[in-house]
Amino acid sequence: MSYYKHLFSGIALSSLFAVPTYAGVKPETATTYQAPYAKSAPDIDGIPQDAAWSKASWRDIDKLTAGSAPSSNEDFSGRYKVVWTKQHLYILAEISDDILIDSHPNPLEHYWDDDALEIFIDEDNSGGKHLFTYNAFAYHVSLDNQAVDMGPFLTDADEKASKANVRLYPHHIKSQWMRSAETPSKIYWEVQLAAYPDNYKDEYSPKEKAVKPAKLHEGKKLGFMMAYCDSDSPNGRDHFIGDIDIKPVNGDKNRGYIDASVFGVLELSK
């Protein structure tokens, strides 16, 4: 079975390729999170004591998107906050998860079936499909602090053979999590994220200039959504919970990795 088929096993292909609800255009969406500016960037060390975090408010990760509902707050509960500098977004997630598990050692395999913080970002808030493009990113930040997503097919032959371009993005994300000594049931996860625009490419010819992350500024709006893949056994993901109540398509709320139109809106404020 090809990786690609494996990836989508259990998902109705019709739901993947059906005419999108919003025809690829993001509907008018109110701001879901207002991120304050950080005079001093937080240290990405899993210790949430940085002054910048005190300015930002928490947003709950509590909308069941796929799988079963967590059995208790100890099984899963989570919330996050965001601050920004001109160069980066900074995310702090506070996660309670009774069992942390990484049962697929290869970071490129079944990354959604190990515990992972999933960060969805659409730099220009365009909405629209992004599964095989960089119109938006769905970074799965795994317990080994690496970020995984799927890029465009590398060649026509790969596309024909459904050979997915699953890869790591070490230059996009810096991540560190740690258990809290005061409340060992909680982990604090800090992430520094560069907002790459939709013309980002995996490789450039010698004549091409590499696309740089967007410069951030007050008033900028980005498509944004946070989620957590909670796996508690080697059997795969038990609960997939996000911060946006997604309108289902054919009963399926798990649309974020396909369609950026379901993301919320992150607004940068001073």
CB of 35 to Ca ion, least distance (A): 16
- Could you give the string, one character per residue 44-63, with x where binding to Ca ion holds by CB under 5 A and - elsewhere? -x-x--x-------------
User: Residue length, the chain?
Assistant: 270
Q: What is the rounded CA–CA span in Å between residue 39 and residue 53?
A: 11
Q: What is the rounded CA–CA span in Å between residue 206 and residue 197?
A: 20
Q: What are the b/e assignments for 86-125, b being 16+ CB within 10 Å?
A: eebbbbbbbbbbeeebbebeebeebbbbbbbbbbbbbbbb
- Our finding on whether 232 is near Ca ion (CB under 5 A) is yes
CB of 133 to Ca ion, least distance (A): 9
Piece in contact with Ca ion (CB under 5 A), picked from 8-16, 30-38, 129-137, 262-270:
129-137
Q: What is the rounded CA–CA span in Å between residue 33 and residue 233?
A: 32
Residue from 3, 29, 43, 180 touching Ca ion (CB under 5 A): that is 43
CB of 37 to Ca ion, least distance (A): 17
Helix (H, G, I), strand (E, B) or coil at 150: strand
- Our finding on whether 102 is near Ca ion (CB under 5 A) is no
Residue from 17, 99, 212, 269 touching Ca ion (CB under 5 A): that is 99
CA 250 to chain centre: 23
Residue from 102, 198, 252, 267 touching Ca ion (CB under 5 A): that is 198
CB of 1 to Ca ion, least distance (A): 26
